[in-house]
């Protein structure tokens, strides 16, 4: 498909940017040169959302919603929303916001363990943001006053090592809130595994064994119907669009589309395009559903995306925010990232 | 011509007096009844004109001046408990008047009476009929009739009406029943009248069901006879009461009924016994109700008095002579010549001379039959049974004046305590109305009349109503809801659906709806004209030109306006399909309007009907001259326009159990009306002027509009528009959410389908692992020291969202049990005190927090998924263990604590 090639075309420079220099081409209308113009209303919605996030970012590059979700995970997701917009991360209007958040992620990393944040959710999303920024953000301008504790690449490598170490302690081969936990769930594991896969895509070495173990965990948790369980010990299979999307996404990004479990999850999602996570963690569910459908079936995503745009248009507040269960800033980040598939700038969106 | 019988028990029937009523405040709320059948609540206000009722209703800004003859009655609200009072005598005067008071003097010309609240009255002797010694009101049960108050119409019939306060009917089969709580021995006096030969059943001593009516004591018309009969399972008997002639007539009877003995005695007012019937049978049952059924002709209940009877049969009276009844039951015949006030004795003169009967020996005095009744335009009836009639003079703030024939003084009667003002000579045929006559119906009011010219002003509506008969008119108050009916039924030839009259109640529109959805509705509409249906109820004949994301473009002959936004539209007809091949039955319709769970996030917004009657749900994207673009479950489809007949909008806000009414009535500026035209067009607009029989205003869809009144069948005003719209056919097409499966209702989709009741964990039933932890606010918590108490451990961390959702529930429920030795410890997993403190402050939580810094306690309790809530009983055993929180954790925990506290084995075990 035309635009698939297009995606690769813009993704390659990003991957090539491992040298640490920014070399992304600016395009005034994202996607225009590939024949798929991002609709104006999506761009306007995204811009208003970014303006909201920018306005709420603290000097330290963080967002404080006053909830338990505050921390590096939220910072990472906000950073991803800026990176996914197509604005130049080094010279664009949000370049300072990008640098601030990146500095926050790096400084909040435990120098010894490599863990970022209070739980592995935070660690996973922070790792994903570092991976996506790695190579795109010019490190020479990242620390204007003093030298940072470590570079983006170093921070990412350290974070990867921490995640792999936590996984090794885990009998199930996944992750749970605590890096020392002995059990695992498919939700926390998704955050960490996608971060690891993004790091691998960015050129960081990840042991194959680690990915294989994590994928094995997901296979174990995926029912033939496509439904995905939460943890091994609790409940059974039930319908969680978020978890099905996470599983589908990790299979795809791990390049395991050959698995029957992958096909089952994609089919499940394709047959229920109108179905979202409902009242429970809606924004979180959409964030993964967007990526899973995009990876799984671009036509299905296209249909689903129309519904998403319609729903988000109706939901966006005058200040550009989206209200949700996670408070306005994190809900806005998740909502924008669900929309960001329309731009396809982030390497993790590569098909 | 009335004739009278004084009987001792009857004398006791008279009610309490006017004395002792509360001091007057505001005039009581009341309803004005008009001779044209109209009625309107409001209050009587002062006027100095005789024979005029000035009436102020809250729905109008100005009063109406009603000539007395246009009025039938004013009924005032009556307290549940009627007032009781005292008086020496009850005086029965000409014209049916009754007053209570004391006798000051009596001679052959006049009497002087002292009446509570009226004072010293000089009453011509010729208008005094009889007077009874008034001892007690205890024997009075009912004094009436009070219109239909106390009566109930038989189911599904409403054939009885009130006329001058009297129940009246000319409907065959019309039946009323009233529970008057007849005692075992009762006396009743009643008058029934008719214009044509009657056929009725008046049953005494009946109950709720028809069987008891069959077994009651029944007055019936058998051919030319009035009979009394009773038939029980064992016995039956019948007795003739008298003959009933052709044409107009009346009966006036006094009945003594002993239900325990199964006996009834019937007397005429002159004291002659007409019948004595005894029918026992089975167990004697005392039933308290009366039933009055009109079988043919007409019937009016003019009087009904009910009292207790001591069981002593009354003595027969010789003819209808002037006489005195003594307390001992003996009767002294002869004309009373005077009352000797000094000796308190009545003086009777006859051929043999004078004899005296002391006042304290008499029960009642019959003086004469009033020869003339005089000019009586109006009767004032009080709650206590007093009644005075005469010429209506004027109304003051709390009283009105009445000239009563035979009473020298002009009476100033208080409004307080009034039950009714009854006009005795209303118009037979009310005056012509002029203009476009209609009936204004408001909440609790119905006023035939007409609109007169008016324009909208601050505080007054442009709708100015002149009731028939009134010499004045008044604007409606802004915000009033109601309608003006010009034509009750839709015109005979069928037009648009919208032409059907607004529903009266659920029954009305349900029927409308079912027939509309039954598939044959298009046939009823006749297919003459396609229309645009708005949510407000408007029906605008239109040709739809296109539909886009903003709304509907149309052409109509009614106005130059061509566009309406989506949120106002309910349906558009694109083609009229007189007889679609596919019928829609009830089950199909329900299926069509059920929203499956998986579509909840993307409900269809439109329902599209093909010409053949097929339906399709989806999201309309665009309609142009040739095709419809519609998204069916995210899949775009194109449909040729010529296949379509109808599109109905399914607005998201209609989804769900209850919908608040649509647009609120705008305040002040204009009166919102909906003209329901004779041709089926419905048009909602803000009216600002009525002139030349034309109502003008502005529609927010069509712009300026004018409606000529003679084309209007009904004019809906204010809030009633929305209610009427609710009942219109297309408004009934609303999606209903499919029922949620139980698993989802109980637990809104978190981790597990079936919520464990807390006993599944392997730890339950085992001794709770002991531990000692530092408390956030110091010093330490040692589980073993709490033996004898119930302990709730809530494992949590600040990064755990579900924990923070669960914790307020846990804290609240544990608080409910604080007095019963229940202690809550929130065990935090491996976090710094500062972080914990700031989180608790943000969430305004105050549990005792134990710091599990290394996670060792969580490990002992296998808290590898949090929130985890553990209940430890008094014996130190793990009684319940809940994992995962959820919205029902509070209830589950409460149930668990209740159960644990009740467990007998959970008593303190020492140590």
A272 and B CB contact within 8 Å: yes
- If contacts are CB pairs under 8 Å, which of residues 159-178 in chain A contact chain B? 176-178
d(CA B771, CA B785): 10
Angle subtended at Cα B582 by Cα B581 and Cα B585, rounded to the nearest 5 degrees: 140
Over residues B372-399, the pLDDT tens digits come to: 667 788 888 888 778 899 999 899 888 9
Q: At what angle do helices A241-253 and A208-221 cross, to 10 degrees?
A: 150
Supply the pLDDT for residue B157: 65
| The pLDDT value given to residue B431 | 73
Count of structural domains within chain A: 1
Query: Which of B31-45, B74-88, B540-554 shows the highest mean pLDDT?
Result: B540-554
- Considering the entire predicted model, what is its pTM? 0.65
Determine contact, residues B848/B826, Cβ cutoff 8 Å.
yes
Q: What's the pLDDT at B139? A: 66
Residue A100 pLDDT class (50, 70, 90 cuts): very high
Q: Are strands B217-222 and B199-206 parallel, antiparallel or unpaired?
A: antiparallel
Task: List CB contacts (< 8 A) between A178 and chain B.
Answer: 829-830, 855
The confidence score (pLDDT) of residue B26 equals: 52
Residue B615 counted as domain residue: yes
Q: Are residues B290 and B166 in the same domain?
A: yes
- Which of B807, B860, B864, B882 has the most A C-beta neighbours within 10 Å, making it the best mutation to test the interface with A? B864
CA dist B350 → B53, B347, B356 (Å):
49, 10, 12
- Which position has the higher pLDDT, B321 or A290? A290
Q: What is the pLDDT of residue B669?
A: 57
In the structure, what pLDDT confidence band is assigned to residue B519 with cuts at 50, 70 and 90?
Answer: very low
In this structure, chain A runs to a length of 351
* Interchain pair A275, B855: CB under 8 A: no
Q: What is the CATH number of the domain that holds A208?
A: 1.50.10.20
Look at residue A69 and tell me if it is in a domain: yes
Segment B437-453 mean pLDDT: 91
CB B537: neighbour CB atoms within 10 A? 26
Does A238 sit within 8 Å of B749, measured CB to CB? Answer: yes
* B686 contacts B666 by C-beta, under 8 angstroms: yes
pLDDT at B661 over 50: no
Beta strand residue intervals within B562-681, DSSP E: 563-565, 569-573, 594-595, 606-610, 615-623, 627-632, 635-640, 644-649, 671-677
B24 falls in which pLDDT band (50, 70, 90)? very low
Q: Which domain holds residue B819?
A: 756-906
Range of the domain at A318: 2-342
For the cut 90, the answer to whether the pLDDT of residue B791 exceeds it is yes
Confidence of residue B906 (pLDDT cuts 50, 70, 90): very low
**Residue B37's pLDDT band (cuts 50, 70, 90):** confident
Write down the H helix ranges in B783-855.
801-816, 833-843
Please report which confidence band the pLDDT of residue B135 belongs to, taking 50, 70 and 90 as the band edges. Answer: low
**Are the C-beta atoms of B538 and B674 separated by less than 8 Å?**
yes
Contact B804/A69, CB-based, under 8 Å?
no
DSSP B47: B
pLDDT at B528 over 80: no
pLDDT at A49: 97
Residue A350 falls within a domain, yes or no? no
Residue in A closest to B619 by C-alpha: A307
Residue where a domain stops, chosen among B281, B308, B335 = B308
Contacts of A280 in chain B (CB under 8 A): 748-750
The pLDDT tens digits of the residues spanning B51-65 come to 899 999 989 999 999
User: Does A68 lie at the interface with B, CB-CB under 8 angstroms?
Assistant: yes
Cβ A307–B634 below 8 Å, yes or no?
yes
Structure tokens at B821: 């030795």
Residue A351: inside a domain: no
**Mean pLDDT score, B715-737:** 86
Higher pLDDT: A57 or B854? It is: A57
Instruction: Show residues of chain A in contact with B865, CB under 8 Å.
Output: 183, 185, 231, 233-234
Instruction: Give the three-state DSSP class for A123.
Output: helix
Residue B320 banded pLDDT, cuts 50, 70, 90: low
Evaluate if residue B508 carries a pLDDT over 50.
Answer: no
pLDDT score recorded for residue B247: 79
**H or E element, residue B746:** helix B742-746
CA distance A44 to A26: 18
Neighbours of B667 (CB within 10 A): 8
> Which residues have a Cβ under 8 Å from the Cβ of B352 and sit 6 or more positions away?
none
Task: Tell me the β-bridge partners of B553.
Answer: B546, B563
Q: What is the domain-level CATH number for residue B886?
A: 3.40.30.10
Which tokens go with B358?
A: 């002391």
Q: How far apart are CA B421 and CA B444, in angstroms?
A: 19
* B21 and B389 Cβ atoms separated by less than 8 Å: no
Checking if the pLDDT of B778 tops 90, the result is no
Residue B145: C-alpha distances to residues B3, B16, B77, B162, B302 (Å): 19, 16, 15, 10, 7
Question: Given CB atoms, is A183 within the 8 Å cutoff of chain B?
Answer: yes
Residues A156 and A130: beta-carbon distance below 8 Å: yes
B376 occurs within a structural domain: no
- Please indicate, yes or no, if residue A151 is contained in any of the structural domains: yes
pLDDT > 60? residue B5: no
DSSP state letter for A59: T
pLDDT tens digits for A124-146? 999 999 999 998 999 988 998 88
Closest CA to B305 of B187, B454, B213: B187
Q: What is chain A's percent helix, strand, coil content, to nearest 5?
A: 60, 0, 40
The confidence score (pLDDT) of residue A21 equals 34
Shortest Cα distance, chain B CAs vs residue A139, angstroms: 31
Asked if the structure places residue B221 within a domain, the reply is yes
Give B744-773 pLDDT, tens digit per residue: 554 443 444 444 477 778 888 889 999 999
pLDDT at position A200 = 95
- φ, ψ dihedrals at A301, nearest 5°: -60, -40
Number of domains chain B is built from: 3
Max CA pair span of chain A: 55
Least confident of A85-94, A191-200, B62-71, B664-673: B664-673
The shortest C-alpha distance from B636 to chain A (Å) reads: 9
Residues B626 and B774 in one domain: no
Q: Which residue has the higher pLDDT, A70 or B475?
A: B475
B142-173 pLDDT tens trace: 777 777 878 888 766 678 887 767 888 988 88
Average pLDDT over every residue of B101-107:
90
B498, B676 contact by CB (below 8 A): yes
Predicted confidence (pLDDT) per residue in A14-58, tens digit = 333 333 333 333 334 444 444 457 888 899 999 999 999 999 999
3-state secondary structure of B303: strand
| Residue B204 located in a structural domain | yes
Q: Does residue B201 surpass a pLDDT of 90?
A: yes
The predicted pLDDT at position B835 comes to 84
Please report which confidence band the pLDDT of residue A279 belongs to, taking 50, 70 and 90 as the band edges. Answer: low
Contact B533, B541 (CB under 8 A): no
Average pLDDT, integer, range B812-828:
90
d(CA B768, CA B189): 84
B743 contacts: CB under 8 Å, gap ≥ 6: A238, B753, B754
* Phi and psi torsions of A100, nearest 5°: -60, -45
pLDDT: which is higher, B909 or B547: B547
The one-character DSSP state at B21 is P
CA distance B705 to B686: 9
The residue out of B279, B308, B337 marking a domain boundary is: B308
Residue B20, by phi and psi: left (phi above 0), alpha (psi -120 to 50) or beta? left
> Do residue A183 and residue B864 have CB atoms under 8 angstroms apart?
yes
Query: Can you give the C-alpha Rg of chain A in angstroms?
Result: 18
A337 domain residue, yes or no: yes
Judge: A278–B749 Cβ closer than 8 Å, yes or no: yes
Exposed (0-12), middle (13-18) or buried (19+): which is B406, by Cβ within 10 Å? buried
B-chain residues near A240 (CB < 8 A)? 749
User: How does pLDDT run across B578-620, given as a tens digit for each residue?
Assistant: 667 777 888 888 888 998 887 888 889 999 999 888 899 999 9
In this prediction, residue B372 carries a pLDDT of: 63
Q: What is the mean pLDDT of chain B?
A: 81
Share of chain B above pLDDT 70, in %: 84
Inspect the interface and report whether the beta carbons of A279 and B798 lie closer than 8 Å: no
Q: Helix-strand-coil percent breakdown of chain B, rounded to 5?
A: 15, 40, 45
Two structure tokens written together for B543: 């040709």
Whether residue A25 is contained in a domain is answered as yes
B520 vs B224, more confident: B224
Decide: residue B234, CB within 10 A, 0-12 exposed, 13-18 middle, 19+ buried: exposed
């Amino acid at each position: 498909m035309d635009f698939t090639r297009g995606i690769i075309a813009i993704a390659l420079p990003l991957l090539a940017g491992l040298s640490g220099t920014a070399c992304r081409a600016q395009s005034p209308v994202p996607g225009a040169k590939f024949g798929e113009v991002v609709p104006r209303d999506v761009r306007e919605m995204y811009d208003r959302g970014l303006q909201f996030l920018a306005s709420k970012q603290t000097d330290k590059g963080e967002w404080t919603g006053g909830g338990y979700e505050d921390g590096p995970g939220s910072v990472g997701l906000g950073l991803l929303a800026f990176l996914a917009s197509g604005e130049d991360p080094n010279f664009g209007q949000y370049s300072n916001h990008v640098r601030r958040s990146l500095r926050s992620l790096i400084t909040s990393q435990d120098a010894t363990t490599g863990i970022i944040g209070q739980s592995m959710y935070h660690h996973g999303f922070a790792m994903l943001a570092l991976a996506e920024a790695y190579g795109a953000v010019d490190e020479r301008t990242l620390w204007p006053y003093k030298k940072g504790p470590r570079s983006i690449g170093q921070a990412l490598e350290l974070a990867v090592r921490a995640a792999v170490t936590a996984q090794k302690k885990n009998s199930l081969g996944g992750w749970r809130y605590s890096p020392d936990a002995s059990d695992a769930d498919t939700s926390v594991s998704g955050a960490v595994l996608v971060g690891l896969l993004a790091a691998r895509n960015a050129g960081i070495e990840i042991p194959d064994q680690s990915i294989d173990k994590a994928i094995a965990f997901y296979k174990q948790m995926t029912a033939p119907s496509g439904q995905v369980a939460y943890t091994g010990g609790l409940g059974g299979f039930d319908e969680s669009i978020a978890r099905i999307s996470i599983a589908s996404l990790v299979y795809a990004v791990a390049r395991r589309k050959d698995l029957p479990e992958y096909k089952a999850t994609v089919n499940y999602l394709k047959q229920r395009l109108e179905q979202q996570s409902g009242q429970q963690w809606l924004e979180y569910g959409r964030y993964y559903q967007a990526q899973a459908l995009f990876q799984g079936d671009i036509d299905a995503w296209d249909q689903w995306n129309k519904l998403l745009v319609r729903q988000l248009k109706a939901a966006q507040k005058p200040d550009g925010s989206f209200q949700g269960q996670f408070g306005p800033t994190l809900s806005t980040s998740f909502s924008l990232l669900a929309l960001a598939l329309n731009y396809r700038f982030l390497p993790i969106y590569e098909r | 011509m009335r004739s009278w019988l004084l009987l001792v028990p009857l004398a006791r029937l008279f009610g309490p007096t006017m004395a002792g009523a509360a001091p007057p405040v505001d005039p009581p709320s009341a309803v004005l009844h008009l001779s044209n059948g109209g009625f309107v609540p409001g209050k009587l206000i002062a006027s100095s004109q005789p024979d005029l009722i000035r009436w102020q209703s809250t729905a109008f800004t100005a009063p109406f001046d009603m000539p007395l003859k246009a009025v039938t009655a004013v009924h005032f609200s009556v307290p549940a408990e009627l007032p009781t009072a005292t008086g020496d005598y009850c005086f029965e005067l000409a014209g049916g008047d009754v007053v209570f008071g004391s006798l000051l003097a009596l001679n052959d010309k006049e009497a002087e009476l002292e009446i509570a609240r009226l004072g010293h009255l000089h009453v011509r002797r010729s208008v005094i009929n009889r007077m009874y010694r008034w001892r007690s009101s205890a024997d009075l049960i009912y004094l009436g009739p009070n219109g239909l108050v106390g009566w109930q119409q038989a189911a599904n019939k409403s054939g009885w009406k009130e006329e001058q306060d009297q129940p009246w009917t000319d409907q065959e089969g019309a039946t009323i029943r009233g529970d008057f709580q007849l005692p075992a021995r009762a006396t009743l006096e009643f008058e029934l009248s008719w214009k044509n030969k009657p056929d009725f059943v008046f049953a005494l001593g009946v109950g709720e069901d028809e069987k008891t009516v069959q077994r009651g004591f029944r007055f019936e018309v058998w051919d030319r006879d009035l009979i009394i009969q009773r038939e029980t399972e064992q016995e039956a008997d019948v007795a003739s009461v008298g003959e009933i002639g052709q044409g107009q007539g009346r009966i006036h009877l006094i009945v003594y009924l002993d239900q325990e003995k199964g006996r009834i005695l019937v007397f005429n007012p002159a004291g002659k016994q007409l019948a004595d019937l005894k029918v026992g049978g089975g167990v004697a049952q005392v039933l308290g109700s009366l039933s009055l059924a009109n079988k043919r002709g007409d019937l009016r209940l003019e009087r009904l008095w009910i009292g207790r009877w001591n069981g002593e049969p009354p003595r027969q009276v010789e003819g209808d002579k002037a006489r005195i009844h003594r307390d001992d039951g003996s009767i002294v015949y002869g004309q009373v010549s005077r009352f000797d006030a000094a000796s308190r004795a009545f003086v009777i003169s006859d051929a043999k001379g004078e004899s005296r009967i002391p006042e304290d020996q008499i029960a009642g005095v019959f003086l004469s039959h009033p020869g003339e009744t005089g000019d009586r335009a109006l009767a004032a009836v009080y709650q206590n049974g007093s009644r005075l009639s005469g010429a209506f003079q004027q109304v003051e703030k709390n009283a009105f004046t009445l000239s009563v024939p035979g009473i020298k003084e002009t009476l100033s009667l208080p409004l307080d305590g009034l039950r009714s003002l009854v006009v005795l000579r209303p118009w037979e045929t009310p005056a012509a109305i002029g203009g476009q006559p209609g009936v204004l119906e408001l909440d609790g009011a119905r006023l035939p009349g007409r609109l007169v010219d008016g324009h909208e002003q601050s505080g007054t509506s442009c709708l100015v109503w002149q009731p028939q008969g009134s010499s004045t008119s008044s604007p409606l108050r802004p915000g009033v809801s109601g309608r003006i009916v010009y034509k009750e039924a839709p015109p005979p030839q069928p037009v648009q659906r919208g032409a059907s009259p607004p529903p009266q109640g659920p029954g009305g529109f349900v029927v409308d709806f079912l027939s509309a959805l039954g598939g044959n509705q298009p046939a009823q509409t006749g297919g003459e004209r396609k229309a645009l249906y708005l949510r407000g109820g408007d029906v605008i004949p239109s040709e739809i030109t296109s539909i886009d994301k903003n709304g509907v473009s149309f052409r109509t002959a009614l106005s130059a306006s061509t566009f309406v936004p989506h949120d106002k539209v309910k349906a558009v007809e694109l083609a009229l399909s007189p007889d679609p091949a596919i019928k829609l039955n009830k089950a199909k319709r329900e299926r069509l309007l059920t929203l499956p769970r998986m579509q909840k996030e993307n409900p269809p917004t439109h329902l599209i009907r093909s010409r053949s009657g097929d339906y399709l749900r989806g999201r309309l994207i665009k309609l142009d001259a040739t095709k419809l673009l519609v998204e069916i479950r995210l899949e775009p489809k194109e449909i040729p326009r010529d296949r379509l007949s109808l599109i109905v909008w399914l607005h998201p806000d209609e989804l769900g159990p209850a919908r608040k009414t649509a647009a609120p009535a705008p305040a002040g500026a204009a009166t919102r009306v909906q003209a329901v035209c004779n041709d089926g067009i419905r048009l909602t607009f803000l009216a600002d002027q009525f002139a030349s029989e034309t109502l003008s205003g502005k529609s927010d869809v069509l712009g300026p509009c004018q409606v000529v009144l003679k084309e209007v069948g009904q004019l809906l005003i204010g809030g009633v528009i929305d209610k009427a719209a609710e009942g219109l056919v297309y408004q009934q097409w609303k999606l209903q959410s499919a029922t949620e499966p139980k698993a989802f209702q109980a637990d809104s989709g978190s981790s597990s389908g079936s919520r464990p009741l807390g006993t599944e964990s392997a730890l339950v039933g085992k001794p709770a692992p002991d531990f000692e932890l530092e408390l956030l606010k110091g010093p330490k918590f040692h589980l073993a020291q709490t033996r004898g108490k119930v302990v709730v451990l809530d494992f949590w961390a600040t990064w755990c969202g579900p924990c923070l959702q669960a914790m307020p529930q846990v804290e609240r429920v544990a608080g409910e049990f604080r007095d019963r030795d229940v202690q809550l410890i929130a065990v935090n997993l491996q976090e710094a005190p500062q972080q914990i403190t700031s989180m608790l402050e943000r969430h305004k939580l105050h549990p005792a927090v134990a710091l599990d810094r290394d996670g060792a306690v969580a490990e002992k309790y296998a808290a590898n998924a949090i929130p985890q809530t553990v209940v430890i009983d008094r014996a130190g055993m793990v009684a319940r263990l809940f994992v995962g929180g959820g919205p029902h954790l509070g209830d589950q925990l409460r149930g668990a604590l209740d159960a644990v506290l009740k467990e007998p084995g959970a008593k303190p075990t020492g140590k």
